[in-house]
Chains A and B, each alone.
Chain A
Amino acid sequence: MSLTSRHLLGLQGVPRDDIIKILDSAVSFKEVLDRPIKKVPTLQGKTIVNLFFESSTRTRISFELAQRRLSADIVNFAASTSSLSKGETFKDTARNIEAMKIDMVVVRHQSAGAPHFLSRIVEANVINAGDGRHEHPTQALLDIFTLREKFGMLEGKHVCIVGDILHSRVALSNIYGLLAMGARVSVCGPATMIPRGIEKLGIEVYYNIDDVLPQVDALNVLRIQLERQEGGLFPSLREYHQYFGITRERLEKADRPVTILHPGPINRDVELSADVADSEHSVILQQVLNGVAIRMAVLYLLSQVK
């Protein structure tokens, strides 16, 4: 009952069996979250540092809560209050923190590959909480967990990831994880936001949401980052909403119910209309709860790897 790697740097190359172990383990931890006393002693005596070089609210809180539920000791490090403003390098920061005897590091960073770099310079287990536009493995795992709860199994289910695929770390991790679980995966977004060659991963690419909607079981709707408009990748939020916004009207054209996921935070009435976000097909709040369970599972399983 142990994973094949002592770090979780991404879902690329992670074996299906490892993903299933994490999902199954998360089922047990989710039960803990329903108890009156939501705490187990699993990681008692372990120390975990949350190294956040980029602002994050929900991912940080979710990790923190997972760690507390497992009885770990935690240290939070945020770049804005850190020694980085004094010119300390990433490597020095990491090594200094590790010198205080840390068992695990959760890292969020603007640069792709930063968790990989970290795993070479520290002894602790490293968990990627989002690196640049590369990967965000725990987000994908919680998305997959949520879909598995909904559908029972993922084989043959069609999940379309909608929005800014180019700048998304959620998209790549989801693609790897969903493909490993046997799902059919597509992406849909403005052509300027579809990275080159992504179809080579074995997925379909759509530029028209209405073409793909009738075929899908679930939509994973990505947050549109407002600064991308300033970069000129799309002309206006208005046009984005018109062509890619997920609205009830659009969903009604599909002949079957479409499950809606969103990694949050939502720009209401931009990528997702309010009535869809709050509808019975939305599993957005389940995702948030499942995120804690998944992170508990990941922390626990990595701590077991020798």
Chain B
Amino acid sequence: MKSILLKDARIIDPSQGLDTKADLQIENGFITGISAGLQAQKNSEQYDLQGSVVAPGFIDMHVHLREPGYEHKATIATELHAAAAGGFVGVACMPNTNPAIDDTSIVRYIKERSLKVLDGLVDVYPIAAVTKNREGKQITEMAELSGAGVVAFSDDGSPVENAQIMRIALEYSKMFNKPIIQHAEEKTLTHGGVMNEGFISTILGLPGIPSIAEALMIQRDIMLTVYCGGRYHVAHLSTKIGLDLIREAKRNGLPVTCEVTPHHFTLQEEEVKSFDTNTKMHPPLRTQEDVDAMKEGLKDGTIDVIATDHAPHSYDEKEVEYLYAPFGIVGLETAIGLSISELVKPGILTLPQMIEKFTVNPRRILDLPHVMIKEGEKACLTIFNPDEEWTVDINQFKSKSKNTPFHGHKLSGKPVGIVNNNAIFIK
């Protein structure tokens, strides 16, 4: 029997319209008391949160754990520590492992491995491939995978290019109501590209990835969704024109959702001028107009979710010529800080709105159990201090890889810890 007392918390639960200062008592993984002045029981662990926010547990619905297959970049163990340190109680992991997550044995492998990390503190929700070996040719055994507990389907890293395959996936997934997550990229327009196409790519002499490549794929997929149903989710949205299409689709009542990464609402393409390979990601950093549009989309609700596209790559893999570096950066441990610094402090989102995009909305899209901060409910909590100023230091990262352009950035808002599955992690 485990007993935890969290003193002096600011409890924010947007699903109940709750924003209150109180203490929180947890027994055996369940919330047993919320009120001011709670006294610690004899055997309880007590934490003084000094006014930190306690929110329903955050989910990062776009994470690359790299295991199995790429353990030199990251392992399930290292990245779940990073998730806990970043304030996430759960991650949905993408299937571009080796072998890909395209059959139930890999799903079981990942789940089993995750249970051994931090006593199963962080939940792992595998996303299975849409197509076998992510080759875009034939859909996976989606029904069985769905039964084995995958939460969505995606060929992330690559788009589902073939329209007929996408149609089949959307139709087939209707039988078990799981979303298809698209890495939206019309590849015939992006071949060889390493950064956003435009004036900056011209003066840097780097091959470009035009914004329309994203929008064209979203456009096609929205038409497919209109025609044959299914639930469609756009991963790592980066362009204003793509956002406008999703806004229109939502206005028409379509089951279309999307996510944005912290780097796409924070950085723009000028960063690439440094030739720092930590500015190379897919989709690429776009223009300031796109960054502003991402913020607008978060504000008006077009963008449902903040997800990191956490993509560990080893130091040596990134320490190469720009053209040859792999795409992607780590994000788990900077997501809360960037979101508060870029969105909450400037007044684009309120804290409850930000929290919705980290927990309520991803849980709704992935059809995960709804989490509430309420007596009798399971204690599934993210704790963060929205006012703490700190400097990003890759040497403090728990992630096995340190590939981030944010090293040395000063941020406001820092994760403090998480509570989940009758366990607690406090930094």
Contacts and interface: CB of A to CB of B under 8 A. Distances in A.
B199 A113 contact: no
A111 interface: yes
B321 interface: yes
A135 B198 CA distance: 17
B319 A91 contact: yes
B321 to A, nearest CB: 4
Given A117-B275, A134-B205, A111 B199 contact: no
Given A116-B275, A196-B198, A200-B199, A110 B323 contact: yes
A182 interface: no
B324 A111 contact: yes
Contacts of A131: 205
A122 to B, nearest CB: 14
B326 interface: no
A89 B315 CA distance: 12
B203 interface: yes
B203 A201 contact: yes
Given A91-B320, A112-B322, A198-B199, 6 more contacts: A12-B203, A112-B323, A132-B206, A133-B207, A135-B205, A198-B202
Interface string A83-114: 00000011100000000000000000111111
A114 B322 CA distance: 7
20 contacts: A89-B319, A91-B320, A111-B323, A111-B324, A112-B205, A113-B321, A117-B321, A131-B205, A132-B206, A132-B323, A133-B206, A134-B205, A134-B206, A135-B205, A195-B201, A195-B202, A196-B197, A196-B198, A198-B199, A201-B203
A200 B201 CA distance: 13
A172 interface: yes
A89 B203 CA distance: 26
Interface string A110-146: 1111101100000000000001111100000000000
Nearest to A53: B321
Contacts of B322: 111-114, 117
B204 interface: yes
A190 to B, nearest CB: 16
B206 A197 contact: no
Nearest to A12: B203
B198 A113 contact: no
Contacts of B201: 195-196
Interface in B179-235: 197-199, 201-208
A8 to B, nearest CB: 16
Interface of B: 197-199, 201-208, 275, 316, 319-324
Contacts of B202: 195-198
A186 to B, nearest CB: 16
Contacts of B275: 112-113, 116-117
Contact of B321 (A90, A169, A200): A90
B206 to A, nearest CB: 5
A133 B199 contact: no
Contacts of A89: 316, 319-320
Interface residues of A, number: 25
Contacts of A198: 199, 202
Interface in A181-212: 195-198, 200-201
Contacts of A134: 204-206
Contacts of A112: 204-206, 275, 322-323
A81 B9 CA distance: 65
Contacts of A201: 203
A90 B204 contact: no
A89 B316 CA distance: 9
A169 B205 contact: yes
A240 B321 CA distance: 33
A114 B321 contact: yes
Contacts of A90: 320-321
B205 A197 contact: no
B321 A111 contact: yes
Contacts of B324: 111
Please list the 9 inter-chain residue pairs (A to B) with the smallest Cβ-Cβ separation, ordered nearest first: A134-B205, A197-B199, A113-B275, A111-B323, A111-B321, A195-B202, A112-B205, A133-B205, A113-B322
A113 B206 contact: yes
A172 B205 contact: yes
A8 B45 CA distance: 62
A95 to B, nearest CB: 11
Contacts of A91: 319-320
Contacts of A197: 198-199, 202
Contacts of A133: 205-207
B187 to A, nearest CB: 15
Nearest to A169: B205
B199 A196 contact: yes
Contacts of A200: 199
A185 to B, nearest CB: 14
A186 B197 CA distance: 21
A114 B204 CA distance: 11
Contacts of B205: 112, 131-135, 169, 172
A46 B275 CA distance: 29
B97 to A, nearest CB: 24
Nearest to B192: A231
Contact of B208 (A12, A132, A196): A196
A42 B204 CA distance: 34
A109 B320 CA distance: 12
Given A196-B198, A197-B198, A197-B199, A113 B316 contact: no
A131 B203 CA distance: 12
A263 to B, nearest CB: 16
Contacts of A169: 205
A195 B199 CA distance: 8
Nearest to B274: A116
